[in-house]
Amino acid sequence: MYNKEKMKQLLYEANHVDPMNDYAYFSKIKEIMTLLQSREDLNEFSQYMEHMTRDEYGILGSFIDEIDAKYVTRNFTEALKKLIKKYPLDLPKDYKDPQIEQVMLEAFEEELNRREKEATED
C-alpha cells in the first residue's frame, strides 16, 4: 500500500546506499515495489512524481521495468512523460538506444490503450 512519506524515505535511502553494495540497493528497490501494488498506489505515486528530483528520477529508472503494467494508469504515464521531458539524458547525438523509461512508457501506453479498447468493446 502506497505511503508518500515511506516512498520519500526509501528513495532517499536508495540514493545514499554505498554504490558498491548492490544487495543493499536492490533491497531498497524491493521495498519500494511493495508500495506500488495497485492502480490506486500508482495513481498516488504519480502525484509524487510531479515533484521528483533528478536523483529520485534516476532511481525510478532502476525499478520502472518491475512495475506491473496492469496497475498502470493514465495519470502515471502522464507523470512519467513529464519527468522524461524535465530530466533528459545528456547522451551523444549518435547514441541510438532509447532510455529504459521511454521504452517502458511506450509499453505502459500500449497496455492502457489495449485495456481502453477492450472496455469500449464490452
State whether residue 108 is helix, strand or coil.
helix
The pLDDT value given to residue 4: 95
Q: Which sequence spans correspond to the domains of the chain?
A: 4-121
The pLDDT value given to residue 121: 83
pLDDT, tens digit, for every residue of 92-120? 677 777 778 888 999 999 999 999 999 88
pLDDT of 91 strictly over 70: no
How big is the chain, counted in residues?
Answer: 122
pLDDT of 75 strictly over 70: yes
Average pLDDT over residues 33-37: 96
Report d(CA 35, CA 6) in Å as an integer.
Answer: 8
pLDDT of 88 strictly over 90: no
Q: Which of 60, 54, 71, 52 lies closest to 101 in space, CA to CA?
A: 60
